[in-house]
Amino acid sequence: MLLELPRDLHYPITVRKITKRPGDEVKVRDALFRYTYVTKVKHGDRYTDEETEVDKIIAADFESPIDGKIEKWLVWTDDVIRHPREIIDITEPCKHAVQFNGLCTECGKDMTGIEVPAGAGSERANIQAAHDTDKLLISQEEASEVDELSKRRLLNARKLSLVVDLDQTIIHAAVDPTIGEWQKDPDNPNYEALKDVRSFKLSDDGPGMQGCNYYIKLRPGLEQFLENVAAMYELHIYTMGTRQYAQQIAALVDPKREYFGDRILSRDESGSMVAKNLTRLFPVDTRMVVIIDDRGDVWKWSPNLIRVSAFDFFVGIGDINAGFLPKTQDIPPPPKSDIKPTTNGTSENGEHTADGEAAEEANTPTDTTALQQVVAMNDPTMQEVQTKAQEETIASQLERKPLLKLQQKLDEKDGVDTTAPTESSATQNTDSDSSSDSESPSPTKAKARHSILKNDDEELVHLEKSLRLVHDRFFAEYDKKRKTTSPKTGRVAQLSGKSKAPLSDTTTEPDTLTYIPDIKRIMPAMKDRILDGVNIVFSGVLPLGTDIQTADISIWARSFGATITDKVTRDVTHVVAARVGTQKVKTAVKKGIKVVGTDWLLKSIQRWKKLDERPFLLPGIGQKMLEDDNMNADEPPKAPSSELGAQDLLEDNKLGVGPDFLLSSEDEAEALTETDEDRQQQPRRKKPKLDLQPHSADNTYPVPEGMEDTEEARSPVSDINKDEWDAIGDELKDFFGSDVDTEAESDAESVRSETSVSLRGKKRRRDEDAEGGGSGQSGQEKNGDGGRANKLQKGSGGSALRAVSNAETSGKDTPMMPQEQTQEEYEADLAAELERELEAAEAAENGSS
Amino acid sequence: MFFLRYLEREISIHPSFFGANIQDVLKQQLYADMEGSCNGEYYIVCIMDIYNISAGKVVPGTGSAFFTILYRAILWKPFKGEAIDCVVDSCKPQGVFCYAGPLSVFVSKMHLPHGYKYNPDATPVNYSGPDGDTIERGTAVRVQILGLRSDVTNLFAIGKMSAGWFGIAPV
């Protein structure tokens, strides 16, 4: 080993005498050579008080930091050394590369004693090597070696590594003794779901939870999942539970120890109670590692992570091992679509998110920052306190029996529901204060009693698909790289001389490792595409006061390419709402933005696929839209008649401006193809203005003559210049974004429409010119499938045109098209309608309560 | 190596336990505290007998009473160079973890018997020898202790199986 001089010597130094010769054996702290350096010393005068600085030459010995045999010297007597540099080559008998608890495992020396010089002892092996102990440490070189071997092995087997979390990812654990009672009672409504729940006891539990049963529910389909995934991945367990707990679970999910083997890492060895770290398991390279976990924050949203939705079988229990972590943010489920807004069911749903412990839970996580947690972790007394706190939570679960209470409440509700449905809302509202669960049971009519435990989780099926996709993609890329580059190396070897040819086998062998693509690049790229162009606003999903951008669900959605915005602006494509009736939902409806339930987002993420929004549109709003769209799409365009002129205008206009709805209602499968996706992903609000230009050129567009004339006649603002238009536009935007005031809005609209109509003539001419320039569009349009064909073509072929017209609009003035006006009108209508509906709902509700 | 040794232990007892059976309470306390414990030097395997319990002394202020118990116990103290029989707990790329009773012993792959190779794909993971023997979880092995290290409450050792007569223990 080449020894380098330490940094803290007094450079420059001059080598004076070399005391050891090559071939000599040296021990730690033996003097290797003597050197001198010059330093300034203060020299006091004997008679005056003056001090003078004098150069002084000081001699010192350089001691060997390691044992070994000197191979050769790289410095000679009288050399002046100005910087730290290598000076000597010493061969060590033992490199102390693997150390167990401070002992070198090869020579048995204690590496932590004070006689070991800094840097030569325990510091040399600082990487934790084993899953199940934090005492075995290895050096960087040793780690790389092991890593290389394991990568080669995995590549040969065409596998990747998969780090699996336990709690709420593949299992759900609870200690509530109610579960045991239910399991013994075949009459219990939860009996079916609890059939395969297994239990065990831990011996290392603290007092208060001594001898308590841990009930473990495996996520449905787990066995199959593990079997299939184990063929593609080498599985590791990384859990925040204790070692014993982890081993018990492993014995349950993998009794033959064929999937996980010894690769189990628990919080006892993890080194941190609040964070999981991939480098703990893969210190050198994480290019081939995928993580599945229900928490993104503990991994700091690592790019290797596939965040899965939490498995919440024992409702309201949560993760029993997450006592040290900040609480998760609950995402309220969307209102069930089979409940009419007027029934008490929805009102209860709405209150559920706001009341009781759900709100409490939501408030707590923001109180403690991650930093505080980390600081707290370093303090052993704090750790003890937290361990106690966790024990207490478990003990309290034992006593409180939250599941029993939930079931009782549900039974109670069932009873009330069947006897007096109208009365129930009042009683339940008082009850819900103490409810510990944000997930409301679905109100489907079933047997006499409903079960609170449902066996309906299907995450693993989708997860397996995603994992397969990632695996296939990884190896496709790997094979491609290997194929494209290996002939080259062969060629290079050929060119560089025949002598190297026989070596090529050995030289290309290590090269295979350089072809390994990076999961950190592949997977985010795959995920990014899924919700690309989706711009989401949350409404009623996150508790007030949460930072929208750093919320769990936001980061999650963003990792799939979505954008999160806090205001409903024109760029927004989806409003994800937990309930109807919020300001944002109203605004969105007014603007024609899709309003979907949270499950649309969650399921899209779960399936790695942008799902069709229609089944997830919020009841009341979305479904109304949906119905309208269906109606329009199904009906052939009507010929405009004089009486129906206005009505037709509205409808056709809707066809024109609602490409998303139209598309989605037209053909689901088509909507998922690439081009259509692109089209869908265009910011919706930009469309009306730009897309509809040909409409005005198109004579089939049914504008009632009289209307046009009158509007044109009283246009008072036709001479507003561009700047003023911009200002007005901004103002309007703000206005629409903030509060709803139909009167003011309609005023604004009329202003807009008037001016736009006045500009239409000019615009039309321009469009005609463009068409005359030879696009085949006009002919097809005139053939007359009306706005619809036009629309589709516009969407697919018109991106360049759109860009041009974009430039145009920014360069010249911004003419408002009549379509815009009518659309606004339509939306105003819709909004008014909706508001009426909501009012009616509220009235009904008030009446019933 | 095992030893029989006279030891001494001070135990304080809460006043609620004062009574006719205080001797039993003390004994129970002693067994619970000491048996199976390690002080960083040796393990107390078993308490043989208690040959003296001092008179109790009440601590002013708390009301608890202090007793000094003299007892005899069997100790196990591992020594460097000692040969011990262990059970393999897990195999790692770096070597093998085994347990000799409470003592965790690590044997580096360098110090495994000659020719043993790591097989990470086997279930369970093992080291296989040239003659077809495998060292895997549960295998009984004979190990020589190379080095010992103590913690406040535990001991750790590293060992080797590379010399003659060491390695997989004859059944």
* Closest chain A C-alpha to B19 CA, distance in angstroms: 26
A391 vs A691, more confident: A391
Which residue, chain included where needed, has tokens 């009632």? A704
* Closest chain B C-alpha to A134 CA, distance in angstroms: 13
Please say if the pLDDT value at position A411 is more than 90.
no
Task: Give whichever of A184-188, A324-328, A444-448 has the largest mean pLDDT.
Answer: A184-188
Sign of CA dihedral B40, B42, B45, B49: negative
pLDDT of residue A367: 39
Across the interface, do B93 and A146 touch by the CB < 8 Å criterion? Answer: yes
Average pLDDT over residues B68-82: 95
pLDDT of residue A625: 54
pLDDT, tens digit, 9 for 90 and up, residues B121-136: 888 889 999 988 899 9
Amino acid at A172: H
Across the interface, do B94 and A136 touch by the CB < 8 Å criterion? Answer: yes
Percentage of residues of chain B with pLDDT beyond 90: 75
Percentage of residues of chain B with pLDDT beyond 70: 99
Across the interface, do B124 and A130 touch by the CB < 8 Å criterion? Answer: no
Residues 6+ apart with CB under 8 A from A102: A110, A111, A112, A122, B149
pLDDT of residue A119: 66
* Closest chain B C-alpha to A379 CA, distance in angstroms: 19
Please say if the pLDDT value at position A703 is more than 80.
no
Chain B residues lying within 8 Å of A100, measured CB to CB = 106, 156, 158
| Touching B: A residues 151-180, CB under 8 Å | 153, 157
Nearest CA in chain A to B93: A146
Average pLDDT over residues A732-761: 51
Is residue A523 within 8 A of residue A477, CB to CB? The reply is: no
A615 vs A254, more confident: A254
**Residue A741 — pLDDT band, cuts 50, 70, 90?**
very low
Average pLDDT over residues A633-643: 42
pLDDT, tens digit, 9 for 90 and up, residues A316-339: 777 877 766 666 655 555 444 433
**Any B CB within 8 A of A110 CB:** yes
- Which H/E stretch holds residue A15? strand A13-18
**Any B CB within 8 A of A268 CB:** no
Please say if the pLDDT value at position A782 is more than 80.
no
- The number of angstroms, rounded, from the C-alpha of A705 to the middle of its chain's C-alpha atoms is 53
The gap between the terminal CA atoms of chain B, to the nearest Å, is 22
Q: Phi and psi for A380 in degrees, rounded to 5? A: -60, -35
Catalytic residue among A67, A147, A165, A330: A165
Across the interface, do B110 and A108 touch by the CB < 8 Å criterion? Answer: no
Across the interface, do B92 and A136 touch by the CB < 8 Å criterion? Answer: yes
**Residue A104 — pLDDT band, cuts 50, 70, 90?**
confident
Average pLDDT over residues A594-618: 84
Please say if the pLDDT value at position A499 is more than 50.
no
**Any B CB within 8 A of A732 CB:** no
Average pLDDT over residues A395-414: 72
Q: Alpha-carbon distance B62 to B13, whole Å?
A: 10
Closest of A150, A234, A235, A237 to residue B119, by C-alpha: A150
The gap between the terminal CA atoms of chain A, to the nearest Å, is 84
pLDDT of residue A547: 82
Average pLDDT over residues A771-797: 45
A167 is known as an active-site residue: yes
Please say if the pLDDT value at position B78 is more than 60.
yes
Is residue A283 within 8 A of residue A127, CB to CB? The reply is: yes
Catalytic residue among A55, A132, A147, A167: A167
pLDDT of residue B16: 92
Q: Where are the alpha helices (DSSP H) in A304-379?
A: 344-354, 356-367, 370-378
- Which H/E stretch holds residue A126? strand A125-128
Nearest CA in chain A to B145: A108
pLDDT of residue A113: 73
Residues 6+ apart with CB under 8 A from A368: A326
pLDDT, tens digit, 9 for 90 and up, residues A675-701: 444 444 444 444 444 444 444 444 444
**Residue A209 — pLDDT band, cuts 50, 70, 90?**
low
Of the candidate ranges A224-228, A394-398, A489-493, B23-27, the one whose mean pLDDT is the lowest: A489-493
Q: Alpha-carbon distance B31 to B26, whole Å?
A: 9
Please say if the pLDDT value at position B93 is more than 60.
yes
Average pLDDT over residues A93-119: 81
Side-chain half-sphere exposure of A116, counting CA atoms within 13 A: 15
Please say if the pLDDT value at position A651 is more than 80.
no
As a whole number, the mean pLDDT across chain A is 69
pLDDT, tens digit, 9 for 90 and up, residues A537-549: 888 888 877 788 8
pLDDT, tens digit, 9 for 90 and up, residues A275-300: 888 888 888 888 899 999 988 888 88
Average pLDDT over residues A803-825: 49
pLDDT of residue B145: 93
Residue from the list A135, A149, A157 with its beta carbon closest to the beta carbon of B93: A149
pLDDT, tens digit, 9 for 90 and up, residues A12-52: 899 999 988 888 888 888 888 999 999 888 888 888 888 88
Please say if the pLDDT value at position B64 is more than 70.
yes
Residues 6+ apart with CB under 8 A from A231: A159
Mapped onto helix, strand or coil, the DSSP state of residue A134 is coil
Residue count of chain A, please give it.
849
pLDDT of residue A181: 82
b (16+ CB within 10 A) / e for A815-849 = bbbbbbbbbbbbbbebbeebbebbeebeeebeebe
Residue among B105, B149, B151, B152 with most chain A CBs within 10 A, to mutate: B149
Burial of residue B133 (CB within 10 Å: 0-12, 13-18, 19+) is middle
Mapped onto helix, strand or coil, the DSSP state of residue A36 is strand
Residue from the list A105, A142, A157 with its beta carbon closest to the beta carbon of B158: A105
Structure-block tokens of residue A552: 């769990």
Rounded to a whole number of angstroms, the CA Rg of chain A reads 36
As a whole number, the mean pLDDT across chain B is 91
Average pLDDT over residues A58-64: 89
Closest of A801, A800, A815 to residue A763, by C-alpha: A815
pLDDT of residue A594: 83
Chain A residues lying within 8 Å of B88, measured CB to CB = none
A230 vs A579, more confident: A230
**Residue B144 — pLDDT band, cuts 50, 70, 90?**
very high
pLDDT of residue A162: 93
pLDDT of residue A797: 44
Chain B residues lying within 8 Å of A136, measured CB to CB = 92, 94, 97, 106
pLDDT of residue B77: 95
Average pLDDT over residues A702-730: 55
A165 is known as an active-site residue: yes
Residues in chain B whose Cβ is within 8 Å of chain A: 80, 90-95, 97, 106-108, 110-111, 120-121, 123-125, 137, 146-149, 151, 156, 158
pLDDT of residue A722: 64
Nearest CA in chain B to A147: B93
Nearest CA in chain B to A234: B121
pLDDT of residue A323: 67
* Closest chain A C-alpha to B54 CA, distance in angstroms: 31
Average pLDDT over residues A515-519: 87
pLDDT of residue A721: 65
**Residue B105 — pLDDT band, cuts 50, 70, 90?**
very high
